[in-house]
Amino acid sequence: MNKKYRTIIILEKNENVTNFIFGHSILWEKTELDYTIEKWTKKDISNFTIWFSDITESELNDIESSLLSNNFDFKGIQLCNGSPFFSEDNQFLEPDSPKFNPFITLCTKRKIYYRKPIYLSGLDQYLQDRESILKEIRDNFGIDLISYPFMFDTFSIYKPSRLFFRIHGDKESKKALIIKAYDEFKQYNESDVEITIYNDSEEHFIHKFKLDTLYTKNKIECGFNPSRAIIEVTNPSKETVYKTDNYFIKKIVLTMGIGKTPIQTDSGVVRPFSSETFEIGGDE
């Protein structure tokens, strides 16, 4: 299987000193549709330089070793001046995690290298002075250091779960759901899927099945009109590899303003106006 670690490193140069700002590496199993960045490529934004490339596991190991030994030399620049890096492994992030997750729809494991926490009193001023640069980095590379300022001075390794679920109501019954699971690379064979379904009264129903094919489809007869479904997948080693909390839209109410043809009266022009409310969905 063709896999690479898509890596980005952000540096800031002030006078003759270059500082490490942020970095991460994403394990990406490649399909025939994916492109590859074979060599380190850079983009300069003011005094910031953003380097990015697809690297091998061996190259990533070298970066990890240099961080732990406080000897991170990148492109001939020594970047580990100051306190040494520590690491924390096996963090699990859901797509809507309050922690920084570079994926919109994927769950991921994260290993993070960080320095000993030092809360600088000048952080707000630092962000304010560089706001336009950091916004451009966010818009070009999807890294939002304004919203996640404590990702500064960290290097993370992400290993996303390439699992996709689609869950929706059943056309034939309001008391049932259809769930479809897609294991893109068949990496989660024999993993356990548990779906906990709730209604508005927090009554719940649990449905379980195993992932044993590339594509799995199930109809779940839960016995009530569902409002919410929590999907959790654990692999054969009992590690959580996927978890999402899903809510269903049952009813949409639209209010529309309608303007009619103006009417001329003795006192002037009257512009008739009315409103209509429409309801889509809801319980019968």
In 3-state terms, what secondary structure has residue 124? helix
What rounded mean pLDDT belongs to the chain?
87
Q: Are residues 64 and 35 in the same domain?
A: yes
Nearest 5°: CA angle at 3, between 44 and 103? 60
Are residues 9 and 91 part of one domain? yes
Last residue of a domain, one of 160, 187, 213: 160
Give the model's pLDDT for residue 86: 86
Range of the domain at 237: 163-247
Kindly state the average pLDDT of the residues 58-80. 85
Q: Predicted confidence band at 179 (pLDDT cuts at 50, 70, 90)?
A: very high
Do 67 and 152 share a structural domain?
Answer: yes
- Same domain? 20 vs 137: yes
Residues 128 and 167 placed together within one structural domain of the fold: no
Nearest Cα residue to 219 out of 170, 182, 166, 163: 170
For position 212, which CATH number holds?
2.60.40.1940
Confidence label for 90 from pLDDT (cuts 50, 70 and 90): confident
141, 190: one domain:
no
pLDDT band at 79 (very low <50, low <70, confident <90, very high): confident
Q: Is the pLDDT of residue 117 over 60?
A: no
Calculate ∠ Cα 191-207-170, nearest 5°.
Answer: 115
Q: State the number of CA atoms in the 13 A half-sphere of 128 facing the CB.
A: 4
122 shares a domain with 223: no
Q: What is the pLDDT of residues 127-157, one digit of tens each?
A: 999 999 999 999 999 999 999 998 998 999 9
Q: Do both 135 and 77 map to the same domain?
A: yes
Q: Same domain, yes or no, for 62 and 146? A: yes
